[in-house]
Structure 1
Amino acid sequence: MSRYIAPLLIGVLGTAILVGLGVWQVHRLQWKEALLAEIAARMELDPVALPEHPDPASDRFRPVALHGRVGSELALVFIPQAGGGGVRMRLIRPLELENGRRVLLEIGNAAPEVLDQLETLPRFSGTGILYWPQEVDLFTPGHDAGTNVWYARDLPAMAEELGTEPLLVIASARDLGNPLILSSEPDPSRIANNHLQYAVTWFGLAIVWAGMTVLWLARIRRRRYLER
């Protein structure tokens, strides 16, 4: 009987861990679906005036109405394209509102080869989406001092560089006004949601682990039978 204890414990513990990971991914799937639905609902709201103290949690993806003067300073942020399709550049400029506040305005994105063909509109009057990107980590290259090229939207650093609040508004697609610029508006339908796939994988591994444990125990039983 003692021969069965270790394999049984390993089998039960391993299966329990894998099933737990699968259940966790199911909960993550439910959370992600609710989040995407909330994002889509927020983006459908009527634009409001820019809040005095926007909250990254409750105001993320909220449409706002903006009117102000576009500064000449420019930050270009790399957007690597999947499948080796080259790069595009996010175009971010300071926007000075009528009340004197200065925020970061992401006008859109464009291919590097057409940047010298883009004219800077002196004023912006339209709508945008409040957004707090989370793109900076330990592996993000730092900003090259003396250039306007960035490798991620680092709001605190960009705000200091351009003299604005650490607040980003992404211009609405209908307010771009230039066919060479594509909209950078977030699209909830394109936000990755692979939790169902992960859950199926973990549950599948749990079944395999349990099956291998049964085979292991069967081999031990057969070996004991042959030793008699």
Structure 2
Amino acid sequence: MTKAASPVSSPVSWRALLAPGLATLVALAILLGLGTWQLQRKAWKEGLMAQIQARAYAAEPGAIVPEAEWGRWQPADDEFRRVRITGTFLQDFETPVYGLAPGAPGHSAMQGYYLMTPLRLQDGAIVMVNRGIVPMELKDPASRPESWPTGETTITGLVRAPEERNMFTPADDPARKSWFTRDPQAIAKAHGLERVAPFYVEADATPNPGGWPKGGQTRLELPNNHLQYAVTWYGLALTLVGVFTAFVWRRLHPSEA
């Protein structure tokens, strides 16, 4: 007697696939959402890079935001803008902030100190200037007496927002002149300075007397790997579809599998 052929599928088989199917749909939605979010981040990053390039490479440097508007200052509206300011450095309040200067291609970064120095403008207001970096051994101003400009000085550079702290940033210790963040307001408070801008100006690469400090340390290139990340997430989503399809086929065709 010939045996009847087994049905390809049954209601029980389909019910057994319900839970895995729902889990797969949730995971697929998450993966597709992450891929789409990376594409959105890519568009945002490209817009930000275009904005930075337009501000930083302006043909002529502009003026800083007037003191009357400092209370409403926002980094998104002004950071990386090329400006020119004139005033007198308050050398006694020079503040060395530990940092790493990006190295040239093929060279490692240089450890040193960024020299945050108040520049008193002609109207009495103060803008903190990051004059540039010096190596570790030149932290003490006495080791580089020729580095100071005399009299009224004009600085061209980029407007920068206060450096943000994170969980790995050591605490500043003004009493020991130990600083780890380029924060103009915190530095001004430690020195008892008033009428200080909420931003600072990062001096360009114009040489300083004696060769130090070295300005122009701002890196204008931003990492933009979002397309690669998006392709990864979409690739995982496609792989998930393939794996689930194979899983369903094996469950519905156990003899062929």
Shorter-normalised TM range: 0.7 to 0.9
Equivalent residue in structure 1 for 2:225, among 187, 190, 194: 194
What is the aligned partner in structure 2 of residue 63 from structure 1? 82
> By how many angstroms is 1:61 displaced?
1.3
What is the aligned partner in structure 2 of residue 153 from structure 1? 182
> By how many angstroms is 1:38 displaced?
0.7
> By how many angstroms is 1:84 displaced?
7.2
CA pair 38-86 structure 1, distance change in 2 beyond 3 A: closer
Match of 2:190, SS? helix
What is the aligned partner in structure 2 of residue 183 from structure 1? 215
Matched, 1:170 2:202: yes
- CA RMSD in angstroms comes to 2.4
Q: Distance in 2 between matches of 1:205 and 1:155?
A: 45
Match of 2:239, SS? helix
Q: Distance in 1 between matches of 2:197 and 2:133?
A: 21
Q: Distance in 1 between matches of 2:82 and 2:209?
A: 18
What is the aligned partner in structure 2 of residue 40 from structure 1? 53
TM-score normalized with structure 1 length? 0.86
What is the aligned partner in structure 1 of residue 15 from structure 2? 2
CA pair 201-81 structure 1, distance change in 2 beyond 3 A: farther
> By how many angstroms is 1:114 displaced?
3.1
TM-score normalized with structure 2 length? 0.78
> By how many angstroms is 1:13 displaced?
1.7
Match of 1:158, SS? helix
Question: What is the aligned residue count?
Answer: 224
- Return the index of the structure with the highest Cα Rg: 2
> Cα deviation per residue 1:102-134 (whole Å; 9 max; x = unaligned)?
111000112112332362223421312111044
Equivalent residue in structure 1 for 2:149, among 106, 121, 131: 121
Equivalent residue in structure 1 for 2:98, among 68, 71, 78: 78
> Cα deviation per residue 1:172-194 (whole Å; 9 max; x = unaligned)?
222645534332443322x2222
Does the 8 Å CA contact 1:7/1:217 hold for their aligned counterparts? no
Matched, 1:142 2:171: yes
What is the aligned partner in structure 2 of residue 50 from structure 1? 64
Gaps (5+ residues) in structure 2? 1-13
Match of 1:49, SS? coil
Match of 2:236, SS? helix
> By how many angstroms is 1:86 displaced?
5.5
Gaps (5+ residues) in structure 1? none
> By how many angstroms is 1:75 displaced?
1.7
1:74 is matched by which residue type in structure 2? E
CA pair 217-177 structure 1, distance change in 2 beyond 3 A: farther
Q: Distance in 1 between matches of 2:129 and 2:184?
A: 11
Does the 8 Å CA contact 1:127/1:175 hold for their aligned counterparts? no
Equivalent residue in structure 1 for 2:43, among 7, 30, 33: 30
What is the aligned partner in structure 2 of residue 104 from structure 1? 128
Does the 8 Å CA contact 2:149/2:209 hold for their aligned counterparts? no
Does the 8 Å CA contact 2:162/2:199 hold for their aligned counterparts? no
Does the 8 Å CA contact 1:25/1:195 hold for their aligned counterparts? yes
Q: Which moved more, 1:50-59 or 1:74-83?
A: 74-83
Q: Distance in 1 between matches of 2:162 and 2:235?
A: 34
